[in-house]
Structure 1
């Protein structure tokens, strides 16, 4: 049974509870130390959490917008507003579920499981000489519900920042009702700060071809730590700066696109996007728009000279275009019906 698309960061869908953020912070930071970070990691992360809590407090004092383009607490929470300030939503996990998540973690990481196949269709970019590095990446992506087949398969849209072997990645994912990947609050290092938006939020509505009304904006940016932002208005959590080695120098690759995963022994690969690829038809094919990267002082749409396109087996990418407007900006499409028969190159 295919689940609807849900948000992930690099999804576990179980009962949510509100957990005191400072207590959870201790658990996370114990893991962070295992990355070989310095003794300053704890204090740095605590400062970031304090700043996030202050933002929440000030936000609660401000008049609420009549309508937000993003997450609507009344659609998710019984109390219509989420966890109290100073607490965050955490999913309960059984020991069996944790064991399954450890296995599935390998598929979302850049480690290969023998006989399994990961396909990617999208774009990657390198910084132009005048920029030299990436301090952020963002895109707006349509929400669909692609069909996945056997246990452990997933189909996911995401953006990422990368340098060397280190990567921060966020997007939305459809899996086969299974726990797929080291993502969300079980990931080493990630600190969730939003008491309103659960990191594994299941989107209540998805798009259909020609009616792509539902989408999500995702941004990863460096501001002392690597922050994760939804709908370009809500910071939901961060990766502490000191858990990284190479990404301390910012990213030298930014990626945007879709990946699907087929475990070893499964012959039918999942759909990508909305299950079809129609060149030149953005409204009928899953797409990303408002694709931009961030330098030291401003953001830019990619220039074709720094873009590398990627396709794999029966999954395609195309129709790259900088529309030079505020709605589409730089955009491209991707997709595929799945059931690939050709072996990976």
Structure 2
């Protein structure tokens, strides 16, 4: 059977059109892929800044010692007219606190966290070197519902726990007040979590609809292992990010050459404080028994000028049941010798006075975890004591 000439022409045109269409679709896919690769490479270049040297933490991660003035936090457009230096420190200290102005800064405070026993050279800050695969994983991770939260919604009403987040916290109650700081001493643990879960103990400092969180966390999605690590989370302008890996530099500015968020938490307990500087309005992160300045959030990072509410306690996240253990995995029994604890909590009011009793608090937890709130003095140096934890939901 012979095909007529018109039919041959139509068949040829059909084959040609299909070929062109497939080629066009393939070209779009390639262009889209190329654009995505370009964006990833661009972000990697912004994160992995040129380094003076490369050092390793005791857990093996590679960090670049980046010039202070080239760190991600100074990429923000609002930083162009500011003159920040690595010698910056908190200029004013709350009345009634144990924080004192230091006459010198020790370079060995956090040296034990590095293979070289020192950290980076003076004038530089350690920035984690990020691979393409790690960035892609982090991008997917941050895009979902697993970012840290508070037990309050943006209107300060109790939040439901049906989104995978569970809490056992003590939080300030009543009408939002003006806070210029808060602190805690928290014991560290390493609860067993699944690959898509996290479990942490943190201080949550709310500033209007924005906030900072500091503490320790076990978070394999973020760190690619199951160790307990020190973390900082910033929520500002409707965006959230861990540590210094913030798009457009809206996160914290680091001032130390021997410390950066993400390092191992170790065993024992550690002090954290967030303090607003009365002189310039910057919010400082202080850590350690000698209250070392770690870094600061410039005053213009947040829309509001004062803190509005504060939480201390545990938070876990799991996309499905069972949820992971919190703290040491046990319900509180009434003693910090066997319970997960946060002690010595304080707040700083708008007049810059420290409140060590913090009596305007309430408990919040769901059926999976428990929390107690006490001022008992049966253990030395407890102050306002929080006991929390639990094995998780089944």
Structure 2 gap segments, 5+ residues each: 1-58, 92-101, 154-158, 225-232, 234-240
Q: Give the whole-Å Cα distance in 2 for the aligned partners of 1:275 and 1:133.
A: 34
Q: Where do residues 216-295 of structure 1 align in structure 2 (5 Å cutoff)?
A: 216-223=270-277, 224-232=281-289, 233-246=291-304, 248=305, 250-263=306-319, 266-295=320-349
Contact 1:279 1:318 in 2 (8 A): no
1:194 to 244, 256, 270: 256
Q: Where do residues 169-184 of structure 1 align in structure 2 (5 Å cutoff)?
A: 169-176=213-220, 178-179=222-223, 182-184=241-243
Q: Give the whole-Å Cα distance in 2 for the aligned partners of 1:155 and 1:310.
A: 17
Change (3 A) 1:325 1:284: closer
Q: Give the whole-Å Cα distance in 2 for the aligned partners of 1:137 and 1:322.
A: 20
Partner SS, residue 217 of structure 1 = strand
Q: State the Cα RMSD in Å.
A: 3.2
Change (3 A) 1:160 1:278: closer
Cα distance, 1:97 vs. partner?
Answer: 1.3
Q: Where do residues 66-215 of structure 1 align in structure 2 (5 Å cutoff)?
A: 71-73=109-111, 75-105=112-142, 106-110=145-149, 116-126=163-173, 132-149=177-194, 151-176=195-220, 178-179=222-223, 182-187=241-246, 188-204=250-266, 206=267, 214-215=268-269
Contact 1:119 1:313 in 2 (8 A): no
Q: Give the whole-Å Cα distance in 1 for the aligned partners of 2:86 and 2:299.
A: 13
Change (3 A) 1:309 1:53: closer
Contact 2:330 2:389 in 1 (8 A): yes
Change (3 A) 1:128 1:117: closer
Contact 1:13 1:200 in 2 (8 A): no
Contact 2:346 2:358 in 1 (8 A): no
Q: Where do residues 1-12 of structure 1 align in structure 2 (5 Å cutoff)?
A: none
Q: Give the whole-Å Cα distance in 1 for the aligned partners of 2:136 and 2:90.
A: 32
* TM-score (structure 1 length as normaliser): 0.75
Q: Give the whole-Å Cα distance in 2 for the aligned partners of 1:85 and 1:200.
A: 20
Q: Give the whole-Å Cα distance in 2 for the aligned partners of 1:50 and 1:289.
A: 31
Structure 1 gap segments, 5+ residues each: 1-11, 34-38, 207-213
Q: How many residues align?
A: 292
Q: Give the whole-Å Cα distance in 2 for the aligned partners of 1:323 and 1:300.
A: 17
Contact 1:154 1:270 in 2 (8 A): yes
**Radius of gyration: which is bigger?**
2
Cα distance, 1:159 vs. partner?
Answer: 0.5
Contact 2:286 2:293 in 1 (8 A): yes
* TM-score (structure 2 length as normaliser): 0.66
Bigger CA drift: 193-202 or 174-183?
174-183
Q: Give the whole-Å Cα distance in 2 for the aligned partners of 1:327 and 1:302.
A: 13
Change (3 A) 1:100 1:147: same
